[in-house]
Amino acid sequence: MILIVDSGSTKSDWIAVDNNGNQLLEKIRTKGLNPAILPEKKIKKIIKANSLLKEHKKKVTHIFFYGAGCGTEKPVALLKGVLENFFVNAEVEVNEDTMAAVYSTINSDDEAAVVCILGTGSNCSYYNGKEVEQRVVSLGYSIMDDASGNYYGRQLIRDYYYNHMPEDVKIAFGSKFNMESDYIKYNLYKQPNPNAYLANFAEFMFLHKDSEYTINLIKKGIRLFATNMIMQYKEELKTAPVHFAGSIAYFSQDEIKEVAEEMGFKVGNFERRPIEGLVSYHTKNL
């Protein structure tokens, strides 16, 4: 049994296939396993809590894991150790989520493209047809992550408290979420995964896209992301398309295309859930 995993900070999708690429179990979903944020103990607890993973762990021979927070050596080693200790018969490969975005969006293995992730977090890299080139090292959600779920959550909360929301939007926002200051601060400063907590607010934008305020907020974030990340690859953009992976990107397609036209880059493919593309990629390469 081969496990293919696509993990963000909010959730992880697991798909089990055989050597011919046939799916063996229903898709498994656990909480996100970001080793740059979560301690080892918490990661172990999340994996052990899933009954299907527990039941089939000895049958697993190989794990292809793609995840947020897996771009540097220490978090990768931590997560690899946890997976190897739990899936005792498995060979484990841990890759950063950038590669999941690449494999799930490119049209062919040797296609050159700028590939962006807009989910709970955000990132952007250039795939030259063989390997990924990263021009900006991400410093995480508190400093970077423009146009991500946690970026938009932060902006929405700020606009609510600074009274920058139109009154009707503010009423709708306040009725959907607990906006008590103590509750928000508790989740931001006392609970694990504050980035995922912030990202939970982003769905509100896509349920209220009839508001000019919301559309402008979405485009503001995308312009920031394009300026700070996509435009790092000005030369490559002359010939390479820009592909997008993640839920925020998927639901912001119209706004992304508008910004692309303003800034002069070509939009390629959108993939809401990279796990689907990963299964296709690994099935071809088993």
Over residues 14-34, mean pLDDT: 90
Instruction: Measure the N-to-C terminal CA separation of the chain; round to a whole number of Å.
Output: 12
Alpha carbon distance 255, 206 (integer Å): 12
pLDDT, mean of residues 110-122: 93
Q: What is the pLDDT of residue 193?
A: 84
* Residue 72 pLDDT: 85
Domain ranges (residues) in the chain: 2-100+275-284
* Position 73, amino acid: E
Residue 258's pLDDT is 97
Residue 273 has pLDDT above 90, yes or no: no
pLDDT at 47: 97
**SS3 state at 154:** helix
Interval 260-272 mean pLDDT:
96
Instruction: Give the Cα separation of 131 and 48 in Å (integer).
Output: 34
At 210-250, the pLDDT tens digits run: 999 999 999 999 999 999 999 999 999 999 999 999 999 99
For residue 5, give the DSSP letter: E
For residue 269, pLDDT beyond 90: yes
How deeply is 284 buried, as exposed, middle or buried, from its count of CB atoms within 10 A (0-12, 13-18, 19+)? Answer: exposed
- The helix or strand, by DSSP H or E, that contains position 4, with its residue range, turns out to be strand 2-7
Cβ burial of 55 (10 Å; 0-12, 13-18, 19+) is exposed
pTM given for the model: 0.83
Tokens 């390469």, residue?
285
Q: Name the pLDDT band for 19 (thresholds 50, 70, 90).
A: confident
pLDDT at 233: 97
pLDDT value of position 144 = 93
Superfamily of domain 2-100+275-284: ATPase, nucleotide binding domain (3.30.420.40)
Q: Kindly report, residue by residue over 87-108, the tens digit of the pLDDT.
A: 999 999 999 888 999 999 998 8
Mean pLDDT of 157-169: 97
Please give the C-alpha separations between residue 52 and each of 18, 28, 48, 130, 273, in angstroms, as whole numbers. 16, 8, 10, 35, 21
The set of long-range contacts for 75-81, using a CB threshold of 8 Å and a minimum separation of 24, is 75/34, 75/35, 75/36, 76/35, 78/35, 78/40, 78/43, 79/33, 79/35, 79/43, 81/40
- Amino acid, res. 52: L
Cβ atoms 8, 120 nearer than 8 A: yes
Q: What is the pLDDT of residues 184-201, one digit of tens each?
A: 999 999 998 899 899 999
286 pLDDT tier (thresholds 50, 70, 90): low
Residue range 30-47: mean pLDDT, rounded: 93
On average, the pLDDT of the chain sits at 93
- Over residues 154-169, mean pLDDT: 98
